[in-house]
Amino acid sequence: MNGNMMQMPLLISALIRHADRYHGDVEIVSRPAADEIHRYTWRDAHHRSRQLAKALLALGVRPSSRVGTLAWNTHRHLELYFAVSGIGAVINTVNPRLFQEQIEYIVNHAEDEIVFFDLPFAPLVEKIAPRCRGVRAWVALCDRERMPDSGLPLSCYEELVAAQTDNYTWPQFDENTAASLCYTSGTTGNPKGVLFAHRSTLLHTFGISLADSLAVSSRDVVLPVTPMFHVFSWGLPYAACMVGAKLVLPGAQLDGANLYQLFEAEAVTFTSGVPTVWLGLLQFLETQKVAPSTLKRVVIGGSACPPAMIDKFAALGIEVIHAWGMTETSPVSTTNQPKAKHLSLPADKLRQLRTKQGRPGFGVDLKIVDSEGRELPRDGVAFGDLMVRGPWVAAGYFKGDGGDVLRDGWFPTGDVATLDADGFVQITDRSKDVIKSGGEWISSIGVENIAIAHPGVAEAAVIGVAHPKWDERPLLVIVRKEGEALSRDQMLDFLRGKLAKWWLPDDVVFVDSLPHTATGKLSKLTLRQQLKDYRWPAASAAGG
């Protein structure tokens, strides 16, 4: 027997319709160019999304057609989120920081029919267009005055929108229809596409808005620093729309000074980003001796947030919510929010808990397994391969790439983690970055977290290097802060006593900068290649 409830599919268009009707006067602020601030409301965004929907249909976009974007966080990109998915087509947000060949690969593999791009990417578009033959139109995200000179017959976004009225009703269709497509960076091999559905997106949006997750509400002013091309800014534009929060879209200027200026000008309360972004902001705040006056929470994920960073934000009265996820999980899977029983913990124990990657809310299920697939205890000590399942977790890749990826209905994350009885996860490494020393595993993240706390260290990475006696030993690679003269021995002295003796790196190497991926994470693959000629000092090589 079915229930007698209304059949209303969970569609992305319902989000923007709701925001228009119930939060129509709430502002969206966007910085599409360094010299331009654009302001309008959720009502205006809905109005323009419907005009854009009609423009897309006029360009021949049909249900299931793929529409690409190469764009920063702006109101126009937001309109594309709602218009493309709203008509039943699929938005493919492409990371413009990838190598040109990867971008071409993605646009072709996704079969993007139209590509919308921000002006700084006009030269890139000129280069890739001849090799992306399936793209019928390249649309510059600007008005007529700012249209770039180009050998290509470019279309102008503002003209396309202005040519349409907003007399359009969003179609209703099955909530399992594909809404969006995002490619994982693919550190090895080609990028793989994760195809999200309307239903999975809405459930994820409900999930991350909960108080025990990111706690997004209509009283927030949300500024996602996480790019809209990187798993939809971790879902924050949808969440802001669902709850009717003011949304601030910072464009391409993500340095400390520009972020601070926007935080203050727009009274931002909540922001998001990978740890590397916050290094810039914290350094700016430190040197300028200023502090954000309205910012309350920052969600940090994408790679491990060092405890020292959590402390620095705490000293400014800003709470860090450490989160873990991946493109394949929409992306948010765990968020670090203490339970009632944790609030009475001594400060050092609570701090220790809050440095973990958090726990899953309803909708995400986790387990850790050994190499045979046997489940390991949830005791916070045993570590193994982290597996995830849930209604916003991928069941496979676009076009079947990678074959059957699930194992007994679980998605293997490629991360190694511990899991405790309360569900708190601690990621020790990506499985390919784990250091195997004398039959035991050393967590590179565990060592980096301590090294980064030294005041002379700007960035730290630990990689395993082959060792004649121990298989592999950890090598610490440091970028010093400007003007610091930190030595190898000072660094090792600092670490001594703070971690297990056999976790102590055998050597320290100083470099000017560390390699990062297109999503701002440390690229250990590149670092290992850069240091392939490194040899251990004689004492270490002898097994000392």
Q: What is the nearest approach in angstroms of ligand ADP to the Cβ of residue 413?
A: 5
- Asked if residues 334 and 325 have their Cβ atoms less than 8 Å apart, the reply is yes
Binding flag, residue 68, ligand ADP (CB under 6 A): no
Catalytic residue among 349, 436, 469, 498: 436
Binding flag, residue 519, ligand ADP (CB under 6 A): yes
| Active site (annotated) includes residue 436 | yes
Q: What track of x and - describes contact with ligand ADP for positions 429 through 448 (by CB under 6 A)? A: -x------------------
Stretch that binds ligand ADP, among 81-89, 263-271, 302-310, 536-544 (CB under 6 A): 302-310
Q: What are phi and psi of 221, to 5 degrees?
A: -115, 110
Size of the site for ligand ADP (CB under 6 A): 22
In 3-state terms, what secondary structure has residue 455? coil
Binding flag, residue 414, ligand ADP (CB under 6 A): yes
Length of the chain in residues, anyone? 544
User: How far is residue 137 CA from its own chain's centroid?
Assistant: 28
Catalytic residue among 27, 41, 187, 441: 441
Binding flag, residue 383, ligand ADP (CB under 6 A): no
Stretch that binds ligand ADP, among 25-33, 239-247, 393-401, 517-525 (CB under 6 A): 517-525
Binding flag, residue 415, ligand ADP (CB under 6 A): yes
Binding flag, residue 74, ligand ADP (CB under 6 A): no
Q: Are strands 90-93 and 66-70 parallel, antiparallel or unpaired?
A: parallel
> 60-98 burial, b if ≥16 CB within 10 A, otherwise e?
ebeeebbbbbbbbbbbbbbbbbbbbbbbbbbbbbbbbbb
**Residue 457: partners with Cβ closer than 8 Å, 6 or more residues away:** 451, 478, 479, 480, 481, 484, 486, 491
| Active site (annotated) includes residue 441 | yes
Stretch that binds ligand ADP, among 113-121, 165-173, 317-325, 495-503 (CB under 6 A): 317-325
Stretch that binds ligand ADP, among 9-17, 264-272, 323-331, 485-493 (CB under 6 A): 323-331
Binding flag, residue 185, ligand ADP (CB under 6 A): yes
Q: What is the rounded CA–CA span in Å between residue 363 and residue 472?
A: 38
Binding flag, residue 120, ligand ADP (CB under 6 A): no
Stretch that binds ligand ADP, among 9-17, 32-40, 71-79, 515-523 (CB under 6 A): 515-523
In 3-state terms, what secondary structure has residue 420? coil
Q: What is the rounded CA–CA span in Å between residue 52 and residue 474?
A: 53
Q: What is the nearest approach in angstroms of ligand ADP to the Cβ of residue 521?
A: 5
Catalytic residue among 93, 184, 201, 327: 184
Q: What is the nearest approach in angstroms of ligand ADP to the Cβ of residue 415?
A: 5
Fill in the DSSP letter of residue 141. Answer: S
Q: Are strands 383-389 and 365-369 parallel, antiparallel or unpaired?
A: antiparallel
Within 10 angstroms of residue 518's Cβ, the number of other Cβ atoms is 20
- Asked if residues 392 and 330 have their Cβ atoms less than 8 Å apart, the reply is yes
Q: Are strands 221-224 and 193-197 parallel, antiparallel or unpaired?
A: unpaired
| Active site (annotated) includes residue 392 | no
Binding flag, residue 327, ligand ADP (CB under 6 A): yes
Q: What is the nearest approach in angstroms of ligand ADP to the Cβ of residue 304?
A: 4
Rg (CA), the chain: 24
Instruction: State the catalytic residues.
Output: 184, 328, 436, 441
